[in-house]
């Protein structure tokens, strides 16, 4: 039996060596959009002085928050840290990135894409972050065994692509349009490269909305509400204040899904009990306020929205 264990260990070490060689031989683009996770975590952990104002969400937070409005607000005196990157990471992972780094006096604004309340992580997104920052594997713990299992299921596909890319000496990361780069983020973590640019004439990204009755039976919706409630408790235990905001949506999409929004809002108020800085209807905006097909506001629209949020946050903290 010990001999078998020795041989098994040797076999496992050989496989790990092969995987490590493949990992290192596959070229990475240091300016790829997803590589911005390195800078965001560096600011969260060391660069930003306490107390911090931490924004949590996907790319809608990265694009649609202008941290200058908060940094310049005389009544806040908080150091902004925008963690918004990609909605494919899933809500549990996003919360996990922050919950272990909370400090007394911090303020957190959670504004996930609405569909993250009933969906999980998406293929490639988490692996793309782990590829750039392996330490982020610790963020999976926030989602529990289910989140770990989901990412593990995506791993085989990722490693298969890694092998193909290593053989052809090409990056595993999907190429994105020119401005969607790591260098497009500013020092706060906001995506700023689109500010001042004209909006793109693209058809909006449409998602299939569940009905309120479907959400009531959806275990993922229940699980994500529990994740938010648990995060709120961790904020309180750490001496941090936590608030909710909403993901910007096109006015027509909001009108079509108004009943769903009302159901979600009622459930959040009942089960999560975090103060809301804005109402869903306030981020139901005209098409001209969006930069591209996603829930990404133009620089001007992000500035207006951020000024409103900064004033609301200042009032809420003063109460």
Q: Distance between alpha carbon 171 and the CA centroid of its chain, in Å?
A: 23
What's the average pLDDT block by block, 10 residues per block, for the chain (319 residues)? 72 71 69 95 91 97 98 94 96 95 97 93 80 88 72 65 58 69 97 95 86 94 95 96 97 95 96 94 97 96 98 93
List all residues 6 or more positions away from 141 whose beta carbon is below 8 Å from its beta carbon. 96, 148
List all residues 6 or more positions away from 81 whose beta carbon is below 8 Å from its beta carbon: 40, 43, 44, 48, 52, 53, 54, 55, 188, 189
Residue 201: the pLDDT is 86
At residue 2, the 3 state secondary structure works out as: helix
Please give the CATH number for the structural domain made up of 28-318.
Answer: 3.40.50
How far apart CA 54 and CA 56 sit, in angstroms, is 6
CB–CB of 80/47 below 8 Å?
no
**DSSP states of 261-286 as a string?**
HHHHHHHHHHHT---BSS-GGGGEE-
Query: Are the CB atoms for 40 and 189 separated by under 8 Å?
Result: yes
pTM of the model as a whole: 0.88
């Amino acid at each position: 039996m010990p001999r078998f264990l020795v041989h098994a260990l040797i076999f496992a070490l050989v496989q790990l060596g092969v995987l490590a060689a493949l990992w290192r031989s596959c070229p990475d683009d240091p300016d790829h959009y997803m590589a911005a996770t390195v800078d965001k975590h560096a600011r969260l952990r060391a660069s930003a002085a306490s107390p911090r104002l931490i924004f949590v969400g996907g790319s809608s937070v990265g694009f649609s928050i202008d941290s200058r409005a908060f940094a310049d607000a005389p009544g806040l005196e908080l150091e902004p840290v925008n963690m918004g990157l990609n909605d494919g990471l899933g809500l549990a992972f996003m919360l996990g990135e922050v919950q272990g780094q909370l400090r007394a006096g911090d303020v957190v604004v959670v504004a996930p894409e609405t569909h993250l309340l009933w969906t999980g992580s998406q293929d490639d997104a988490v692996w793309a972050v782990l590829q750039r920052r392996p330490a982020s594997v610790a963020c999976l713990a926030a989602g529990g065994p289910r989140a770990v299992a989901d990412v593990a299921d995506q791993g085989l596909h990722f490693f298969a692509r890694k092998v193909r890319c290593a053989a052809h000496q090409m990056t595993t990361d999907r190429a994105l349009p020119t401005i969607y780069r790591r260098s497009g983020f500013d020092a706060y973590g906001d995506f700023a490269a689109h500010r001042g640019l004209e909006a793109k004439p693209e058809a909006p990204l449409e998602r299939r909305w569940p009905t309120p009755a479907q959400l009531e039976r959806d275990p993922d919706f229940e699980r994500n509400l529990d994740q938010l409630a648990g995060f709120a408790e961790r904020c309180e235990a750490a001496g941090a204040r936590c608030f909710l905001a909403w993901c910007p949506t096109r006015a027509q999409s909001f009108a079509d899904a108004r009943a769903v929004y009302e159901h979600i809002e009622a459930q959040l108020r009942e089960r999560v009990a975090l103060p809301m800085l804005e109402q869903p209807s306030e981020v139901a905006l005209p098409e001209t306020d969006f930069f591209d097909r996603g829930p990404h506001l133009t620089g001007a629209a992000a500035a207006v929205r951020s000024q409103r949020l900064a004033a609301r946050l200042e009032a809420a903290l003063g109460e």
